[in-house]
Amino acid sequence: MNKTAIALLLGSFGLAAQAADLSLTYTGKSGQSAYTNLTSRFVGGAMHYLDSQGKSYEAFCVEPTQSHAVAADGAVSYTLGSFGGDQAQLLQGLFSSSYAGLSTAYQRGAFQIAVWEVIGEASGTPLDLNAGAFKFLYLTRTSTAADNSAFAALASSYLTAAAAYAGPALYDIQRLSSSSFQDLVVATPVPEPSSYALLLGGLGLVAFVKRRKA
């Protein structure tokens, strides 16, 4: 079985195996204040949610001009979907190359800017935070040019890594759509092939035992 088939089959045990709708409650955010051509001051970064079973999710916004749900909104229903074309490829490259290395709010803020650049530009358009449909402007009204440049450089490094990524798909990436709030992107790690083999082995053993008892 090739890696692509393994990844697709493993993905079926992630979010895709759940119901078409997912109910999530917002619990907080880890990000960086920033201004873009599409938003005024906005703390962009990872948003944290809990589902009805207490499972936690880290998500990034894909609609910068839409408001996100807050804790006071309670449980919000999202429809599970996917991305296509260049967006799907670049988001996979973005998460597979850089997501696991995010450890600070600053890095998550830069990663959010990279997500918006991928989502905001038309297919085939160069990924450039200074040009195109989406642009990063500055961190705050009082931030220095050096601070702005450093942040933009970090976000750009994520985009460069995403465009160059040629490895296996490390995440099952899905779009969570809401009619009232920002749509989100979530990434569920794809288990290693060895984990998949163990899973299949366990399922096979259960089936064998059931047949013996029958």
pLDDT at 204 over 60: no
Strand partners, 77: 23
CA gap 99, 173 in Å, rounded: 12
For residue range 59-82, what is the model confidence (pLDDT) as tens digits? Answer: 999 999 999 999 999 999 999 999
For residue range 155-195, what is the model confidence (pLDDT) as tens digits? Answer: 999 999 999 999 999 999 999 999 999 999 999 999 876 54
Q: Which residues contact 187 (CB under 8 A, 6 or more apart)?
A: 95, 99, 171, 172, 173, 174
Quick one: pLDDT band at residue 20, thresholds 50, 70, 90?
Answer: confident
pLDDT at 22 over 80: yes
CB neighbourhood size of 88 (10 A): 15
Please name which of 64, 63, 31 lies closest in space to residue 46, comparing C-alpha atoms.
Answer: 31
Q: What sign for the dihedral angle of Cα 68, 71, 76, 81? A: positive
Q: Structure tokens of 214?
A: 């029958």
E strands, the chain, where?
Answer: 21-36, 42-51, 56-61, 75-81, 136-138, 171-177, 184-189
Higher pLDDT, 51 or 200: 51
